[in-house]
Amino acid sequence: MHLAYPAVLSALLFCTGLYGVLARRNAILVLMSVELMLNAVNLNLVAFDVWLSRTAEETLHSGQALTLFTIAIAAAEIGIGLAIVLAVYRNRGTSDIDKLRDTVEGHEPDGDASDSDASATRATAEKAEATA
């Protein structure tokens, strides 16, 4: 098999994931896109490992080992990422990335207002959660 096939597929998947990271509004969808990018890298690693193990008689299988590591790290990352998203959601009442703009330039006076808004929504959210 031509190495170009998996390599090109990997590149396309990576860029798809890239688009998702840049364009999606919901934080969980962004995490999904990150998974896509990681998988694109994994595909690259596997393909090159297979190629090298045949042509260069390489027995270390570093590509496959790294793939396994990447999968494990991706799992950890998704766990942590979701925990962060949940914490943000609880605090802010939203998981939309483009609403998390506390670092915007000229953010002094409306910061308090939005904070109080957020705490109000958080209070209602918690109440809803408790009743549910």
Partner 1 sequence: MTTTTLAVLVPLLPFLGALTGLLLGRTAPGFVRPLAVLPTLASLVLAAVVAARQGGDAAVDAATELTPTGSVPIELALHIDGFAALTAVLVGAVATCVQIYSTGYLRDDPRYPSYAALVSLFTSAMLLVVYSGDLMVLLVGWEIMGICSYFLVGHYWETPEARAASLKAFLVTKLGDVPFLIGLFALATDAGSFRITRILGAVANGGIEHPTLIALLLLAGVAGKSAQFPLHTWLPDAMAGPTPVSALIHAATMVAAGVYFIARLLPLFEASQAAMVVLAVMAAVTMTGSALAALAQDDIKRVLAYSTIGQLGYMTGALAVADRGAAVFHLLSHGAFKALLFLAAGVIIHAAGTNSLAAMSRMSNLRGRVPDAYWTMTVALLALAAIPPFSGFFSKEAVLGVAEHVVTGHTAHAPAAAGWIVLLAGLLTALLTAAYAMRLWLLAFHGHGTEAPDHGRQPLTMTVVLWVLAVPSLALGGFAFRALPGWFDGHDLTPTLTTSVLGTGVALVGGIVTYGAWRHTTAHAARIPLGAVAAHPEGDAGQVEAEAIASHEPAYGDIAYAPDPSDPGRLLLGPLHRHAAAGFHLDAVYSALFVRPVRAGASLVRFLDREVVETYVRGAGTLPRWLGAAVRRAQTGNLQTYVSALLAGTVVLAVAAVLVATGA
Partner 2 sequence: MTPAAAAGTAAHATTTAAAEAQGFLSPTGVEIAFLLVGLVTFGAALITVTTRQLVHAALWLVVALGGLAVEYLLLTAEFIAWVQVLIYVGSVVVLLLFGLMLTRAPIGRSPDADSGNRWVALTVAVAAAAALVWVVVDAFRTTWIDLDGAPAGSTEVTGASLFQHWVLPFEALSVLLLAALVGAIVLSRKAKAATSAAAPSAPGGTDTRRDTEGAR
Q: Which residues of the shown chain bind partner 1 in the complex (CB under 8 A)?
A: 18, 21-23, 97-98, 100-107
Task: Select from 46, 34, 26 the least CA-distant residue to 94.
Answer: 26
Query: Is residue 131 at the binding interface for partner 2, with CB under 8 A as the rule?
Result: no
Residue 62 or 89: the one with the smaller Cβ distance to partner 1 is 89
User: What is the rounded distance in angstroms from the CA atom of residue 29 to the CA atom of residue 43?
Assistant: 21
* 60 lines the binding site for partner 2 (CB under 8 A): yes
* Two structure tokens written together for 70: 């990447």
Structure tokens at 106: 């000229």
Near partner 2 by CB under 8 A: residue from 41, 56, 57, 77: 77
CB of 80 to partner 2, least distance (A): 5
In angstroms, rounded to a whole number, what is the distance separating the alpha carbons of residues 51 and 45? Answer: 10
Q: From the list partner 1, partner 2, none, pick the one residue 118 interacts with, judged by a Cβ distance below 5 to 8 Å according to partner type.
A: none
